[in-house]
Amino acid sequence: MRVTIINRHMSQNVGGSEIQCDLLARGLVERGHAVTYVAPVKQSIDVATPYGLRPVQEPSKILGAVLESQPEVVYWRYNLNHFRAVAKGLGRAGIPMVFAVSHINDVMPWVWHRPSKGVVPKLRQLVRRRWNRGGFRHVHALTTNNRDQLGLSPVADAHYVPNGMSAEAEPFEWPRPYVAWVANIKPAKRPELFVEAARALADHGIDALMVGHIQSDDYGWLTDPDYVPPNFHYLGPRTPTEVNGLLAGSRLHVHTCQPEGFPNVFIQAWMQGRPSVSLEFDPCGYIVEEGLGAVADGEVDTFVGQVADWATRPDHCNAVGQRARAFARDTFSVDAMVQRVERILASVAPAHSNSRDR
């Protein structure tokens, strides 16, 4: 098949969906398909990839770039950004599309966040999102990385496709025991609550390490030692293999983010044999169902207490971590993810294109 993937690229934004799209593109190429990756960007990309990488700096040119790649099927994982216009154009061209959900907001009819820049801009955003949902009329199949979101699908042909992640890790050394928090830093991730958990660990001789790109100016204070406890350390962005090494050496993975899709960091932590303690989000209910850590149901005091309790019981963390590793390696294989998506793409592509182009 000739497949075109649409999303930001991990060379400029190391987020969960970008990592998944890179893994998928590489996997499809290895399986004999011709892949073009159309990446909306703010600046040029200069990186070698085994697939065709087509950066697009203007949203209005996304559709043109896709049509020029002459795909037999399109895989969209760019949320609802400019979605309706591109989906409508593909519909007119007779090119089938698979929409990949990477955040619960992708399939919610209305989404409201606390206004940070005034009510009017937020209302405009709501209307724009609602308008973009009209693009689902041109979607042939939908995938979600969280089985709990299948019932929200606006597309009849919907599939649960777990993310895939590699367990490859770069060694990481730290002089003291630590817990790890990993995400791009913005209000929805609630990093300030990890700082609160760090304060509770200070008297136990346990550090709190934060990794991620600061995407909101509101969190510049995380780098100021006057505003954080001495056992808190912001390490900046890291690659996926570096994150794996960091998680492998931790007591546990700590999560404060609002519910979304299925953050890769859970899979990374479990593959490295580390349990998760989450403030609120339990993706697919796996933490409770499989016994992979603890969930505080949104109660901050409970969450802080759970982090301290788990972090001070390394033997317990190790025992739960062994179970987490076995579960993750059975559930989140990259090869299985690629094969599942390949089958779905082939099922909506024109009949003559279902064989691999070699």
- If asked whether residues 118 and 72 sit together in one domain, one would say yes
- If asked whether residues 114 and 25 sit together in one domain, one would say yes
Lowest-pLDDT range, 82-86, 185-189, 310-314, 353-357?
A: 353-357
Q: Indicate the pTM of the whole model.
A: 0.84
The band of 350, judged by pLDDT with boundaries at 50, 70 and 90, is: confident
What is the Cα–Cα distance from 134 to 295, expressed in whole angstroms? Answer: 36
- If asked whether residues 340 and 266 sit together in one domain, one would say no
Q: Is the pLDDT of residue 105 over 90?
A: no
Q: Which residue type occupies 157?
A: D
- If asked whether residues 64 and 207 sit together in one domain, one would say no
The band of 129, judged by pLDDT with boundaries at 50, 70 and 90, is: low
Query: Does 323 or 358 have the greater pLDDT score?
Result: 323
Reference 184, options 136, 236, 130, 121; nearest CA is 236
Asked whether residue 169 is assigned to any structural domain, the reply reads: no
Whether the CB-CB separation of 99 and 142 falls below 8 Å is answered with yes
Share of the chain above pLDDT 70, in %: 92
Distance, CA of 83 to chain centre: 19
CATH value at residue 49: 3.40.50.2000
Report the pLDDT averaged over residues 340-358.
Answer: 77
Q: Is the pLDDT of residue 124 over 80?
A: no
What is the Cα–Cα distance from 142 to 155, expressed in whole angstroms? Answer: 6
The 10s digit of each residue's pLDDT in 42-101 is: 888 889 999 999 999 998 999 999 999 999 999 999 999 999 999 999 999 999 999 999
The 10s digit of each residue's pLDDT in 172-181 is: 999 999 999 9
- If asked whether residues 149 and 16 sit together in one domain, one would say yes
Report pLDDT for 44: 81
The band of 111, judged by pLDDT with boundaries at 50, 70 and 90, is: low
- If asked whether residues 319 and 337 sit together in one domain, one would say no
- Mark 184-195 as b/e (b = at least 16 C-beta within 10 Å): bbbebbbbebbb
Q: Is the pLDDT of residue 356 over 50?
A: no
The band of 9, judged by pLDDT with boundaries at 50, 70 and 90, is: very high
Asked whether residue 193 is assigned to any structural domain, the reply reads: yes
The 10s digit of each residue's pLDDT in 228-287 is: 999 999 999 999 999 999 999 999 999 999 988 899 999 999 999 999 999 999 999 999
- Mark 154-180 as b/e (b = at least 16 C-beta within 10 Å): ebeebbebbbbbbbebeebeeeebbbb
Report the pLDDT averaged over residues 340-353.
Answer: 88
Report pLDDT for 28: 98
Q: Is the pLDDT of residue 128 over 80?
A: no
Q: Is the pLDDT of residue 112 over 60?
A: no
Count the residues in the chain: 358
Domain extent, residue 84, equals 2-164+333-353
- Structural domain count, the chain: 2
Q: Is the pLDDT of residue 292 over 90?
A: yes
- If asked whether residues 123 and 87 sit together in one domain, one would say yes
